[in-house]
Amino acid sequence: MSKPKLASAVCAAAVLATGFATGLAAAQGPRAAGGQWSGAYTCSQGLTGMTVDLRPLRGEEMEATVTFYAHPDNPGVESGCYGARGTLDRETGRLVLRPTRWISRPGPGWSMTTLEGRIDANGAYAGRVVYAGDPRACRGFALRRNARPLNPPPPACAADAPMS
């Protein structure tokens, strides 16, 4: 093969490989946000394990089951879960999940929170936890796509719990 044809073939292969890598990153990021995300957050009860099961609805709309439970570094935390809905901006990765209803409430002292964050191409969903009762009560959350949950969810909080 002549040098100009070889150079063209190498450039075409590089462009193809770059396109494939970019497509793969996008597929793992905001464009394919559905699935299980696990990690932790911090509010007034301390470090708490969290799993978010995201389900795409139509367009940019998402539905979720947000489950919280004891973290190995804070074993006294109660478990519970609630339904949430939100909108995903697929260009920026911004996803805001607002609570809709309790599925399993651990007690009267617990409140549902809003999750405001971004999903990136590396499989992370991170941001801030917003508690309307006291904006300073909570800090951030950090979740990884398909990470193994720190603890199993309560039976009522299974990913297939009805979301009416």
pLDDT in tens, 75-92: 999 999 999 999 999 899
User: What is the C-alpha to C-alpha distance for residues 146 and 18, in angstroms, rounded to an integer?
Assistant: 25
List the domain range (segments joined by +) for residue 74. Answer: 33-157
Is the residue at 18 inside a domain? no
Number of domains present in the structure of the chain: 1
Q: What is the pTM of this model?
A: 0.77
Is the residue at 128 inside a domain? yes
Is the residue at 164 inside a domain? no
**What Cα–Cα distance (Å) separates residue 112 from each residue in 8, 28, 52, 155?**
57, 28, 13, 19
Q: Rg of the chain's alpha carbons, rounded to an integer?
A: 20
59: domain CATH number is 2.40.128.120
Is the residue at 77 inside a domain? yes
Is the residue at 133 inside a domain? yes
Is the residue at 21 inside a domain? no
Going by C-alpha positions, the residue among 38, 62, 58, 56 that lies closest to residue 48 is 38
Question: Residue 31, exposed/middle/buried by CB under 10 A (0-12, 13-18, 19+)?
Answer: middle
Express each pLDDT in 34-63 by its tens digit: 899 999 999 999 999 999 999 999 999 999
